[in-house]
Structure 1
Amino acid sequence: MKRQVLSLIVILVVLSIFTVPQAAFPAPYYEGKVIKMIVGFTPGGGYDRMTRLLAKHLPKHIPGKPTILVENMEGASSIIASNHLYNIAKPDGLTIGTFNRALPFAQVIKLEGVKFDITKFAWIGSSAVEGTVFTLRSELPYKTVEDLRTAKTPINMGCSGAGTLDYQFSLLAKEFLGLNMKMIIYVSSNECMLAVERKEADGRSGSYSSLRPFIDRGLVRPIFRGRVPEKGIEHLPVNEDLTTDKMGKTILSMFSSADMIGRPYVAPPGTPPEVLKILKEAFAKTAADPEAKKDAQKNKMEIDYIPGEEIMKVVQNVLNQPPDVIKEFSKYVKF
């Protein structure tokens, strides 16, 4: 009898192990939740296209498979979006965002309206290193920097705002490479490229991933690039090598830091480390996902993952420049 009772107890214990109520195991943090990805620019540009690509592929790499929505919060070269992420969005991992990769410059020159410390965001990382390229309409006769220096009439370079990378890259080229050029500002990169199509603007600078479709179909011709190379533009001359001005070389090199930051993604300060870890792992897995890579290539983009810690090294290098360099840099970098 005792043996039968003991056997029954053993059976009940074994059954209890395999019939633990599902509620005893906590559900994944993101199960049933919605993540909002904020883009500091208008729809259709490079930041927007990359974010929508990520929003499509990230959920399957996040435990709980949350829904991801994209919200465009354009304005002030994405400073509005950055201020929102820093001061308003809750640090719960349900709001993340991307902004102008040149924003560390806004902080270093102490720009009015900046209400964030770039180093205190919860850095997820970057989805790509971005090379910057200067392009002109293909039918124009200018093929070299020397052609642009000796142009009889100023080149009309389109750009999407005083604080954007396309504006700043062209402005620095004008200043330190001696190009005969004037800037024309449009409300967005899409409007700028429409102006190039209509021949209102002669060209535009910008990330290679954004301009590659226009280069591939022959609308524009690349002339030179920034320090960060990308496959397809690595043969182009580098802006730093095209000036003999020592401070100019330093400033152009410092400006290239933005390309190493690439397509940054952050969460609000104070985001729990365990939640940030989930997001970092999801970004890394998405960048290695064959379907995501195929989707990126179809849209003439490259997707990668650069950890937040690596991006922070670049940011700190910008912020720690000597006062004389920052003073000179401030003369040329406008927002």
Structure 2
Amino acid sequence: MKWKMTCLTMALFLFSMLFSQQELRAAPYYEGKMLKVIVGTQPGGGYDRTGRLMAKYLPKYIPGKPTAIVENMPGAGHIIAANHIYNVAKPDGMTIATYNRGLPFAQLTKAEGVRFDIKKYSWIGSVAVEPTAFFIRADLPYKTVDDLRRAKDPIPVASEGLGTTGHQFPLLLIEFAKLNLKIIVYPSGAASRLAIERKEADGRAGSYSSEKPFVDRGVFRPMIRGRVSEPEIDKLPVNEDLTNDPKGKIIMAMLASVDLIGRPFMAPPGTPAEVMKILRDAFAKATKDPELQAEAKKFQMAVEYVPAEECMKTLDYLFNQPEDIVKEFSKYITF
């Protein structure tokens, strides 16, 4: 009997040890840790709002509920932030970033300073599909595309710099649709919108969701859209239809393709698969959070999870273009 009791005691001891070890192994990876969200722009624009929104709600759906902070790292059309996450940040899931959806173009066109391979990032996905449109100040007399072509003087258009959609979209309208525009560079999306409100500039291009508050306030009027659309702008002229140049149509289609990427989030290359599953699952759940959706609606932002696999399809489309097409594309899309 004593021998049986000793065996039973030993078995219970081993079981408790095994259970404790399993509990230890099961401790949430993110528990007690800090998640840094890097935003490749200055504070105040659409990417910044998206980054801060996800930083607020994402920890709720990550086991262990880490603390999240936002770090703005602007410069070079988001290339500085992209280089940092690729070359400096540890691939441990504690640093993620959101970038300009046009960042693939920097690599495609071999832009100076690029030290990353866009397809080797650990893609989390995107939180939106972002149709691009061109807007004019609503108090101006321009009502049609022909009005924009026949303007007596070049219409000043605000952009955030070479590597942004706000610069690239109107540049192609000038080149292929023959609109009489003049691009003026400002340090951020917020600064360029302020320039329009101050009547220093007359128009800009950007994500419809980012500019919609200004449309609703009667400051902006949408005039032209890219091929990716949504119901409110579906009847606008499409930029590709405003030119008969086959080359121009292809270049505009390539530019529009990244609208399907929208507002992407990535982690450093080499981030472990089990950590990426945590992040992707959390992103998918966070985008459906009722409080997040209510806050996004307040800022007139559309938030919907786009899986990493869908983002990769867009990258495959871009990086499988013939060399001669990429060469032509590179003449217009610069950083």
TM-score range, shorter chain: over 0.9
TM-score scaled by length of structure 1: 0.94
Kindly provide the amino acid, as one letter, of the partner of residue 197 in structure 2: E
The alignment's C-alpha RMSD in Å is 2.0
Q: TM-score, normalised by structure 2?
A: 0.94
Write the distance in 2 (CA, Å) between the matches of 1:46 and 1:180: 27
Paired with 2:204 and 2:103, the residues of 1 have a C-alpha distance of 20
Question: Alpha-carbon deviation of 1:57?
Answer: 0.7
Question: 1:135-174: per-residue Cα shift (whole Å, max 9, x none)?
Answer: 0110101011111011111110011111111000010111
Identity value in percent: 57
- Aligned equivalent of 1:102: 102
Distance 2:273 2:263 in 1: 22
What is the aligned partner in structure 1 of residue 227 from structure 2?
227
Corresponding residue for residue 282 of structure 2: 282
Shift of 1:230: 2.1
Tell me which residue corresponds to 2:243. 243
| Structure 1 CA distance for aligned equivalents of residues 15 and 136 of structure 2 | 70
Structure 1 11/291 Cα, relative in aligned 2: closer, same or farther at 3 Å?
farther
Q: Which residue of 2 aligns with 1:197?
A: 197
2:218 match: 218
Alignment match, 2:154 = 154
Shift of 1:17: 6.0
Alignment partners' CA distance in 1, 2:169 and 2:286:
30
2: CA distance, partners of 1:272 / 1:196: 45
Deviation at 1:257, TM superposition (A): 1.1
Separation of aligned partners in 1, 2:246 and 2:154 = 25
Residues 167-202 of structure 1: per-residue CA shift (max 9 Å, x gap): 000101111111011111111111111110110000
The equivalent residue for 1:311 is 311
- Residue by residue, what CA displacement relative to the aligned partner does 1:13-68 show, whole Å, maximum 9, x if unpaired? 68986897656412110000101000000001000101111111111100000011
The offset of 1:231, in angstroms, is 3.4
Q: Deviation digits for residues 298-331 of structure 1, max 9, x if unmatched?
A: 1110111111121011012111111111111111
Q: Specify the SS of the correspondent of 1:134.
A: strand
Q: Does 2:275 correspond to 1:294?
A: no
The reply to whether residue 51 of structure 1 matches residue 51 of structure 2 is yes
Shift of 1:291: 1.8
Q: Secondary structure at the match of 1:212?
A: helix
1:297 to partner: Cα distance: 0.8
Query: Deviation at 1:235?
Result: 2.1
Distance 1:167 1:28, change over 3 A: same
> How many angstroms does 1:296 deviate by?
1.0
Superposition pairs of residues 1-335 of structure 1, within 5 angstroms: 24-25=22-23, 26=25, 27-335=27-335
Structure 1 gaps of 5+ residues are none
